[in-house]
Amino acid sequence: MLRLGLATALVVVLLDQVSKALVLAHFASRALGTNTLTPFFNLVLTLNRGMSFGLFNAVHGSGAGINAVLFSLVAAVIVVGLIYWLSRVATLLLAFAIGLIIGGAVGNVIDRIRYGAVVDFLDFHIGAYHWPAFNLADSAICVGVAVMLFDSLLLHREAH
């Protein structure tokens, strides 16, 4: 199960970093702003110095650097714990879910180390209401948690 989870994490990190590189290249060649793709989806470039959904994103200057280091360290500790858990997992579904979460966390830590912030670019909205921009790493984390909940709450197992 460890191999499956780590392979999943590697795929997530690669897809995440490639998608962010494409978005950064896209916005480097034109004026920054919003690219409206559908009535409910925009491609944007947002550098999130905070945590999930932009929490603590308003920090600027030296505080932004402290956020990058602090959030990276917290994520690293969580990833180590998840890898330990992954080494003890007995089901494919749970190994896959943990791999998604590890890959998403590592993808965002890479951004914090490279840019001092996480590159977010997916902007879904209904009218004027916009969900906070996010990226593929964030999506992998959310899907991983959902799969983990599905595995623990809905799949019945015999007690050992």
User: By C-alpha distance, which of 100, 84, 110, 92 is closest to 143?
Assistant: 100
Q: Helix (H) and strand (E) counts for the chain?
A: 4, 4
Q: What three-state secondary structure class fits 42?
A: strand
Cα gap 56→50, rounded to integer Å: 4
Reduced DSSP (H G I as helix, E B as strand, rest coil) percent helix, strand, coil of the chain, to 5: 60, 15, 25
Q: Which amino acid is at 122?
A: L
Q: Which amino acid is at 113?
A: I
Q: Which residues are catalytic?
A: 120, 138
Cα gap 7→110, rounded to integer Å: 17
